[in-house]
Amino acid sequence: MHECSYETQPMHFGQFRVAALFLTTLTLLVAPGLAEAADTVRVRHSVGDLSAADQQLFIDAMYAMKAAPARGDGKLATNRYDEYVQLHSEFRLHMNSGFLPWHRKMLWEFETEIRQLDPVKFGNFTLPYWNWGWDSFPDTLVGPGGDPFSGNIVTEGPFAADLWSTVNPGPNTGIHSLERAMTDDVMVLNFMSLELIQRLIYISSDFEGFSMSLEMQFHNYAHSTLGGQFATIAGAVDDPFFWLLHSWVDMVWSRWQVTTGSTTADDYMMFDGGPGIDDRMSGFGDPSDLTNIGFDSTMFNTARDQLDPLNMTTLGYNYEYLGNLVFPTAVVPEPGSLTLAAVSAAALAGLASMRRERRT
């Protein structure tokens, strides 16, 4: 696997069968904030609902992982955060059946390690997610886009160049500082995508179709739109926004599992050379893989371990979900294809109305 960057495909849903005639109402999960007492099940929250203390906890967690010693031999990375950069660069699974379970495993490992770094401070920590359908780009949490007059280097915020160093040099400057070349499309993403996400969840009726569409159309579009290291596979984890995007990807997979009832081994299919349901996730639990970066965990290391859609009985986490994924009447999907350009004025008006209702 030597892909250099993330590529996108046009939105196309005509290939998927309608999964159900009636939409499943998803329960609103109510849970304490990140800095408050945790229940048995960890709950991941939308960035839009984080308090100032929660936001600072996330920032502190990123720097705590940067300060934590490497677990490998130190040849590829000198701290624990950078070993996660290398893990994704060397062993990530994309464009096959491993994409969703591999990244779910990675998120769980990263979150667990943070909680163990300082049980007093981080014992209740959970990774937040960026909810495209509701929230603007979370610049108060991860900083703004790069400065176009400084080679797209991020010069402000908690991960500015004078504070945060990267494993991979920026593609524009060659400097080991975070770059982002965000375009106006970022604002389009957070305004248009709720309806598209709803269509993806309710129309995709098989794992392969759902996984590939979520990866190639939504996930890759975010990577390429934000630019900088984030637009490269080797450097994606250099940007802490990685964790917010992939928590969102995992949340959408959980919603799809609930909505379609795809929770058994029969619903998981191996495709495009990816792992089978009982195959080990690459990069985890095999000493021959891990000399340089120290990932020896064998817990929850197969897709079978991760088929509980709410993850309560296995991984022990869940998502606070803001509202129900139910279509407004104006945007119930019709058979055929859908492209970003084809999102109707009625759909956008419906989304705007929903967002106004949430904020009142």
Q: What is the Cα–Cα distance from 221 to 7, expressed in whole angstroms?
A: 7
Ranges assigned E (strand) in the chain: 42-44, 317-319
- The reply to whether 1 falls in a domain is no
Mean of pLDDT over the chain: 75
pLDDT at 278 over 50: yes
- The reply to whether 255 falls in a domain is yes
- The reply to whether 21 falls in a domain is no
CA distances from 10 to 39, 200, 215 (A): 41, 13, 12
- The reply to whether 232 falls in a domain is yes
CATH number at residue 296: 1.10.1280.10
Banded model confidence at residue 290, pLDDT cuts 50, 70, 90: low
Q: Which amino acid is at 289?
A: D
pLDDT at 14 over 50: no
Q: What is the Cα–Cα distance from 83 to 237, expressed in whole angstroms?
A: 10
Least confident of 80-84, 217-221, 252-256, 344-348: 344-348
Q: What is the total count of domains within the chain?
A: 1
Work out the average pLDDT over 284-297.
Answer: 67
Query: What pLDDT is stored for residue 94 in this prediction?
Result: 85
Phi, psi of 232 (to 5 degrees): -115, 145
- The reply to whether 28 falls in a domain is no
Range among 25-39, 98-112, 126-140 with highest mean pLDDT value: 98-112
- The reply to whether 111 falls in a domain is yes
pLDDT at 314 over 50: yes
pTM above 0.75, yes or no: yes
Q: The domain containing residue 150 runs over which residues?
A: 42-359
Six-digit token string for 259: 């909505």
Mutual angle of helices 80-91 and 52-67, in 10-degree steps: 80
- Which is more confident, 313 or 62? 62
- Which is more confident, 64 or 321? 64
Range among 164-168, 269-273, 333-337 with highest mean pLDDT value: 164-168
Burial (Cβ within 10 Å: 0-12, 13-18, ≥19) of residue 23: middle
Q: What is the dihedral of CA 328, 330, 335, 339, to 10 degrees?
A: -90
- The reply to whether 35 falls in a domain is no
How many residues can be counted in the chain? Answer: 360
